[in-house]
Each structure stands twice: as C-alpha cells, then as structure tokens.
Amino acid sequence: MRVKGIVIVILLSIVLAGFACGGGGEEETATPTPAQNKIAFSSFRDGNYEIYVMDADGSNLTRLTNDLDTDWHPAWSPDGSKIAFMSRPDGNPEIYIMDPDGSNQTRLTNNPAKDWQPSWSPDGSKIAFASERDGNWEVYIMDADGSNLINLTNNPAEDDIPSWSPDGSKIAFASYRDDNYEIYIMDADGSNQTRITNSPASDISPSWSPDGSKIAFVRGNRIYVMDANGSSLTRLTNDSGTDWFSAYNVEPSWSPDGSKIAFSSGRDGNLEIYVMDADGSNPTRLTNNPAEDKHPAWSP
C-alpha cells in the first residue's frame, strides 16, 4: 500500500507539472491581441483626414490621430504593434509610426519632398515607401526606425505604391515606365524588376494575398486579382459606381486569412469602406458617413 501511494503521488506530480508548462486543457488557446481583426483607414469626417480603426464588421470605431494635419495610408506592422502612416505637419508628407491606440507617434522621414504609401517587411525590420526626394517617384526601403535609406527602383519613370510579399523576398509596385501604369515585381533588394501586367488601362495599388499566391490590384476603377506571376486574371468588382482610383492610389487590403478583401468604393455616391469575399462576392459596406473614408488596411 505504501508503494502504491508513492506511485500515485508521483503520477499526480507529473500531471500537475504538465499543466504548469501549458500542456493540455484550455491553457493552449491563444489570447487575441488588440490588433486582431481590425481595419485601419483614413477619414475626412472631422474636416481633415485622420486615421481611424474599427472592428472588421464596422463596429467600435475609434479615431487614432487628432491634429490639423492630413493623415493617410495606414499600414500595420506584421505583429500588430505599430501602424505606419503618412502625415504632413509642415505641409509636406512624411512617414510616421504610432502604437495601435494612436500613442507614441514618431516621425521617420524628414525631407522637403513627398514620402508616403508605407509597406512593412514581413519581419517588421524594414518599411518600403514611395518618395519624390530624387525629383522623381521611386520606391525606397528603410529600417523601421527610419535609418539606412535605399533607393530600390532608380528609374526615370514614376515608381510607387510598394507592397511587400509575405515571404519577404519580393516587392510589388506600380510603374509608369511603359507610358502607362503597370504592376511590376522585384526582388527585395531592387533586382530583377519584371512587369507582370500589360493593359491599356492603368494598373495600380498591388496587394499580396497572405499566402503569397495572389496579387489584388486596381485597373480602370475596378479591383482585379491575379496569380503572383501575372496569370489567371480575374475581375472582382463589377458595378456602376466607382471602386476608388485617384492620384492617391488606394490599395485593396486582404484579411489575414485571405478570405476577404477590404476596399474603398463610391458606388453609393460617397467613398466608403467595404469588404467582399476574395472571389468578389458578398460586398458589404462597413462605413456610412457623408465624408470620405478610404485607404483601408487590415490588421495582421
């Protein structure tokens, strides 16, 4: 009996140790972070453009920036701990980052030319963006603290709207080097720049799917999707309104699981944020405001 009691005590100790190390039971369930299932966007509802965030169903709207400057183009860091965005405190667009609640706003670029359209590398160490600092729009990368700036495209034509691939090896961007905007991809160091669209209409605003197999983009005021090599082109939106295309180049944004795409559309007479299934079905309006809502960015 004494031996049996000792064995029971040992077994009980092993089981309790397993639970303490996270084994078994509900302890294994991950706790969602505040940045999960959120969409950040730009809105003019306060009389100037500010960055807002809402749940992916359009609820719990929260303003993150509150100043007299234009705040545009939010982009989530891969871990959801930061949002990069464009602001122009002195009348000139610069790249900033802030915490997901709008605090700790930090300026990363400081140049008399325009810097905007940030896109994070998948490991969060770098930010790609478009800049006019060399007298022409080019795609640059910098470290996430604003250091080590590198011009990747270095072309006399306009290159802008970068989008980093999920594996970090490629950057898609729009280029006017063919006397028309087309989608290009290049290696993350700027090499092997390759055109993957060829259309008389402008192709802009590339956005990689989370698994890297697809790229959504805007053509002629409509949203399309294609394989990452430019094949299997499919039109996703087809209505009489406008799926917003302007000089500010609003890009579609994929949900983290790749099942949905957020986008901006004027199909109801005013720019609003919508989501649709990745095949273009079930478009749903998330915002409903007389002011413009655009630049949606889905949290990781």
Residue 240 has a pLDDT of 56
Domain regions of the chain by residue span: 1-30, 38-298
Residue 19 has a pLDDT of 36
DSSP, collapsed to helix, strand or coil, labels residue 152 as coil
Handedness of CA 149, 152, 156, 159 (dihedral sign): negative
Buried b (16+ CB within 10 A) or exposed e, 129-154: bbbbbeebbbbbbbebebeebeebbe
Give which of 163, 143, 166, 38 is closest to 100, Cα–Cα. Answer: 38
Alpha carbon distance 55, 39 (integer Å): 6
Residue that the structure tokens 């499919």 belong to:
234
Output the tens digit of pLDDT for each of the chain's 300 residues: 444 443 333 333 433 344 334 433 333 334 334 456 899 999 999 899 999 999 999 999 999 999 888 999 999 999 999 999 999 887 889 999 999 999 999 999 998 899 999 999 999 999 999 999 989 999 999 999 999 999 999 999 999 999 999 999 999 999 999 889 999 999 999 999 999 999 998 999 999 999 999 999 999 788 999 999 999 999 999 865 555 445 344 579 999 999 999 999 888 888 899 999 999 999 999 999 999 999 999 999
Alpha carbon distance 134, 233 (integer Å): 34
**Which of the listed CATH numbers 2.60.260.20, 1.10.490.10, 3.40.50.1820, 2.120.10.30 matches domain 38-298?**
2.120.10.30
| pTM, rounded to two decimals | 0.86
